[in-house]
Amino acid sequence: MSVLDRTGRDERAAGEYDERISPGVVAGYGAVAAGAVVLVLFAVLLVGWVTDPRSGGSWMSVLGLSGDVWALAHGGRVHAPVVGSITFAPLLATFAAIVLARTAARPVLATGTRRGLWPTTGAFAGGYAVAGVAISALGYLGPATPSPVYVIPGALLVPLIGFVWAIARDKDDDSPLRAEMIAQYDRVPPMVRKAVRPGLEGLAALTGLGALIVLIAVLTHLARIGAVSGTLDMGLVGAVMLWGGQLTALPNGVAWATTWASGGGLQIGPVDLGIGQVTPGTLPAFPALGGIPEAGPLSSLMLIAPVAVVAIGAAIGWRVVSRTSLLSSVTNKLTQAAVASAIASVTMVVLALVGRAGLGDNAMAYVGPTPLSCLLLIVEVMGAALLTTTLVHWLRSSH
């Protein structure tokens, strides 16, 4: 066989292979990703149901609960008897779903399909969303009533992020999807692309600030958290499930704490947690809520939090100037500072709002950041970044 014959055969085989990778197959991979999430949830909940002698119902109710948790993790809501409507997206579970979506996207990238970036991404996300609506409907097997329509936005966004993440981390330089995404990214103005890294660094700093606040709140109220946990007679398995569930909500607490640091406060049901005072109110016996300070005025040291937020914004502005040529115009630098600070602050606000919680229509109907805290976080970070950029540019230009 000649080299030309062998090359022609390889090209025909590659073309046939590409033709087999239809949008339906890509959508199937998306559906598999959605199914993998609910299988993991079902396995965890089933272990708790089997090992706890006090658990009631059948394994079908466990499957229904898995569908409910899947829906909540994707921004959906369920209606439980007596309690009412429940809204709560444990962000760690949402991130786990994104990771599974990324894993399921890898075989699609390995096929070398040449159907285009957005058609392939749309097919993958569409398959995930269709399967997600069906999975959320499993909640009808349990006592709670799901609302599948509320799942659709999250069921489209999660696979979209996972698929794009998989392409961005693809090691195959010959991947047509990766090449197309790089080509589209290159169309973004250079000043915007240069702002991505300082923006992500600022987002990491804001996340670290929120995590520090949560850590301080937990360490200073360990006794109360333990006392609340002790009042819940749940057994070993129940305690593990309870604390595991609270762990999945840790990113929510970090995002809320970061918005609180702006000075605008948090609303935790009937309790308003401000930067200087906590209003009285009755909260449910939930261990994580034991970390909330007692009602009354708070220490003046809490004012350090808004200062830290402003300092992070200033650091973003300084990083932008340090990464930019001295001859670059102030307009260019301010544009980069605005984009970078927006990446950091707006992303954190979005996470805090997506991670909000609600329980029924009464006192605990809303748990999350106040509109003022969201606005203040964006204004403080962006304002400090722009002011620092202008000041450092002027100082460097005057020498």
pLDDT tens, 217-235? 999 988 888 888 777 766 6
HEC per residue, the chain: CCHHHHHHHHHHHHHHHHHHCCHHHHHHHHHHHHHHHHHHHHHHHHHHHHHCCCCCCCHHHHHHHHHHHHHHHCCCEEEECCCEEEEECCHHHHHHHHHHHHHHHHHHHHCCCCCCHHHHHHHHHHHHHHHHHHHHHHHHHCCCEECHHHHHHHHHHHHHHHHHHHHHCCCCCCCHHHHHHHHHHHCCCHHHHHCHHHHHHHHHHHHHHHHHHHHHHHHHCHHHHHHHHHCCCCHHHHHHHHHHHHHHCHHHHHHHHHHHHHHHCEEECCEEECCCEECCCCCCCCHHHHHCCCCEECCHHHHHHHHHHHHHHHHHHHHHHHCCCCCCCHHHHHHHHHHHHHHHHHHHHHHHHHCCEEECCCCCCCEEECHHHHHHHHHHHHHHHHHHHHHHHHHHHCC
Alpha-carbon distance 278 to 396, whole Å? Answer: 45
Global pTM value: 0.88
Least confident of 48-57, 261-270, 354-363: 48-57
Position of tokens 């030309």?
4
Instruction: Provide mean pLDDT across the span 244-250.
Output: 88
The β-bridge relationship of strands 77-80 and 296-297 is unpaired
Least confident of 105-114, 314-323, 326-335, 363-372: 105-114
Same domain, 278 and 175: no
Same domain, 221 and 345: yes
Alpha-carbon distance 381 to 309, whole Å? Answer: 6
Could you tell me the two tokens for 80?
Answer: 């439980």
The average confidence (pLDDT) of the chain is 87
Under 8 Å between Cβ of 267 and 368: yes
- Whether residue 306 is predicted with pLDDT greater than 90 in this model: the reply is yes
Same domain, 220 and 256: yes
Same domain, 134 and 199: no
Q: What is the pLDDT of residues 269-295, one digit of tens each?
A: 899 999 989 998 888 877 888 888 888
CB proximity list for 340: less than 8 A, separation 6 or greater: 195, 196, 198, 199, 202, 316, 319, 320, 385
Same domain, 178 and 107: yes
pLDDT for residue 114: 61
223 or 315, which is more confident: 315
Query: Which of 187, 214, 249 is the C-terminal boundary of a domain?
Result: 187
Same domain, 75 and 90: yes
- Whether residue 1 is predicted with pLDDT greater than 80 in this model: the reply is no
pLDDT for residue 12: 40
pLDDT for residue 6: 41
Task: Report residue 208's pLDDT band, with 50, 70 and 90 as the boundaries.
Answer: very high
Same domain, 171 and 90: yes
290 or 205, which is more confident: 205
pLDDT for residue 17: 40
- Whether residue 130 is predicted with pLDDT greater than 70 in this model: the reply is yes
Least confident of 140-144, 178-182, 242-246: 242-246
Same domain, 139 and 278: no
Report which listed range, 184-188, 341-345, 357-361, is most confident: 341-345
Query: Which of 187, 221, 242 is the C-terminal boundary of a domain?
Result: 187
Q: Which long-range contacts (CB under 8 A, 24 or more apart) does 54-60 make?
A: 54/235, 54/238, 57/142, 60/141, 60/142
- Whether residue 237 is predicted with pLDDT greater than 80 in this model: the reply is no
Under 8 Å between Cβ of 103 and 33: yes
| pLDDT above 70 coverage of the chain, percent | 91
Same domain, 149 and 208: no
Same domain, 79 and 142: yes
Give the total residue count for the chain. 399
Under 8 Å between Cβ of 365 and 269: yes
pLDDT for residue 319: 94
Report which listed range, 11-25, 69-83, 272-286, 308-322, is most confident: 308-322
Task: Report residue 92's pLDDT band, with 50, 70 and 90 as the boundaries.
Answer: very high
Planar angle of CA 256, 295, 370, nearest 5 degrees? 30
Report how many domains make up the chain.
2
Q: Tell me the C-alpha to C-alpha distance, in Å, between residue 103 and each of 34, 164, 170.
A: 11, 11, 11
Task: Report residue 256's pLDDT band, with 50, 70 and 90 as the boundaries.
Answer: very high
Same domain, 274 and 378: yes
Could you tell me the two tokens for 257?
Answer: 């704490």
Query: Which of 149, 166, 187 is the C-terminal boundary of a domain?
Result: 187
Could you tell me the two tokens for 339?
Answer: 């984009």
pLDDT for residue 171: 77
In a 10 Å sphere around its CB, with 0-12 CB exposed, 13-18 middle and 19+ buried, how is residue 66 labelled?
buried
Task: Report residue 301's pLDDT band, with 50, 70 and 90 as the boundaries.
Answer: confident
Same domain, 59 and 169: yes
Q: What domain range is 219 assigned to?
A: 192-397
